[in-house]
A and B are shown apart, each in its own frame.
Chain A
Amino acid sequence: MTELLSVYHWTIAAGVLTSVALALIGSQLASRSQSVQALVISQGSSLGAVAGFGFLHLLDSSHDHGEFSLLSLPLAGSLLAGSGAALLCEKMIRPSLPARNSHYIALFAIFLSLTYLVTALVPSLETHMATQYFGDLAVITDRESQLSLVIAFIALCLLGHFWRTISAASFEIATFGRVLPGGSKPAVNRLFVGLALITICVSIQFMGLLFTISALFLVPVILSHKLEGLWNYTIATALIAAIGTVSGFILSLWHGSLPTVPAITLSFLLIGACARLMPAVNGFMFMNRRSLGNTGGKGRKTEKTS
């Protein structure tokens, strides 16, 4: 086991940082009611990655592509198509449109069909499509892991530095429908949108759709409406993402036939459920360490009467 872990140290580090970054991004997207847009962007990004592989195959099927081509073309496709999907979501579907989630899902269906179509046109892409959807952290190369690690590290540094401002922008979007002018919020919000897009596309390309959406959506909702205070929630969410990734990966290595990504998804769920159920863990998480953003684990009624 120790030997296996030493083989996969880049993969584990990349998986942990990427899942934490995605979980934090996902909590902001959920706050903005933009989860369905993120799903559409993820599918658009998958289409771009598959199209990138298809383009490589069509260029010259007999040519032995270097690692750079294998890495850069699908990644460029993923980023381009993800950005295109984000643009379509923003320009075509107004926030005030009734039942706009149905419009997003319609867009998702179109991207899914196109992805299948590209795969059908280039039969050798079937393996890539399966990897693109379900992913397998055990087959990621060191170079891919290192690139993911760098992107996730930058994302985490910026998220950490601007976390309060990003949260304030999310609050304004949820409450007023937009980021109000004033201060650094509009600029920081644009930074967050770009950061979210890049992190999601890179994760789709290297870790796959299932890992990406599990970290984006499953981890943030596990402790929603359970904790008080922004920092408690943030730290707990990051811990579940990190511990879930490591334990899921180890579980997969220990049980040879268990695929990595479903094992990690189950770990998110199990660790999150334990955190919700264990009073001791709750007590620890409720403790205020950073700001006033906490009621010391007491409900509102207690707070009023104390």
Chain B
Amino acid sequence: MNRQFVITAENLEVWTSRGELLVTNLNFALRKGDYLLLKGENGSGKSTVAQTLMGFHRLYSGTLRLNIDRKDVGYLPQLGNVRFFLPLTLSDILGLETRDTERMERALAFGLLEPTQLKLSWNTASGGERQKTLIIRALLENPSLLILDEPFNHLDSPSRTKLMDVLNSLLDAQKIALLLISHDGEINARNPSHVIELGRSL
């Protein structure tokens, strides 16, 4: 029965590096097609939970079970204003090559970026274009579990709608389990299967 779940968390407690309890009694179990919305105020530990699920933050107690290979987890961290030393284009970052037309077609099929935008340099692209590039990058690896930390940051309204359409279609096809972290309560989306506001479970 448990094998059906992509990820389960039981009585998860997450601690800061200074030994303070940040998140307590977090319980959820996600199958493909499930959508968990993790809400909470700034500093409530949403991003730390995502890092814990990714195995980057190890200060936790309770049970955390990932029933898929870690490489099948797609992850979008919160994007800072990062400039990069090497002059990579968005196409380079997506790992697109002229001889790999299949990957390029898949990247464009999400409808988040136009072909001309792929030629933009990462350092001159807008925050929204960078955000969409990283989302496509995660989607291109065919993840079974998708963890998106504030994916709507930097996105305009049409882009937000387009992204939710993409995610909804993947959920409908039961290709992914989605854990979406947002402080924004007004996401234009389908109803989540689970909503957790850090500190209390709804």
Residues of chain A whose beta carbon lies under 8 Å from any beta carbon of chain B:
27-28, 30-31, 164, 167-168, 170-171, 174-178, 180-183, 220, 224-225, 227-230, 232-233, 291-296, 299-300, 303-304
Contact = CB atoms under 8 A, between A and B. Distances in A.
B98 interface: yes
Nearest to B76: A176
B157 interface: no
A96 B71 CA distance: 24
A292 B119 contact: yes
B96 A303 contact: no
B93 A292 contact: no
B87 A175 contact: no
28 contacts: A27-B86, A28-B86, A31-B85, A164-B92, A171-B86, A171-B122, A174-B85, A175-B84, A176-B75, A177-B56, A178-B56, A181-B55, A181-B71, A182-B141, A228-B121, A230-B92, A291-B91, A291-B92, A291-B97, A292-B97, A292-B98, A292-B119, A293-B92, A294-B119, A299-B124, A300-B124, A303-B119, A304-B116
Nearest to B143: A182
A181 B72 CA distance: 9
A228 B70 CA distance: 34
Interface string B41-81: 00000000000000110000000000000111101010100
Is the interface on chain B under 10, 10 to 19, 20 to 34, or 35 or more residues?
20 to 34
A228 B87 CA distance: 5
Contacts of B189: none
Nearest to B138: A180
Nearest to B119: A295
A224 B123 CA distance: 12
B159 interface: no
Contact of A230 (B79, B82, B88, B123): B88
B69 to A, nearest CB: 8
User: Which one of B72, B87, B116, B134 has the highest number of Cβ atoms from chain A below 10 Å of its Cβ?
Assistant: B87
A233 B85 CA distance: 11
B51 to A, nearest CB: 10
A168 B89 contact: no
B118 interface: yes
Contacts of A28: 86
B120 interface: yes
Given A295-B120, A295-B121, A303-B120, A228 B85 contact: no
Contact of B84 (A31, A164, A229, A293): A31
B151 to A, nearest CB: 14
Contact of B89 (A30, A225, A229): A229
B95 interface: yes
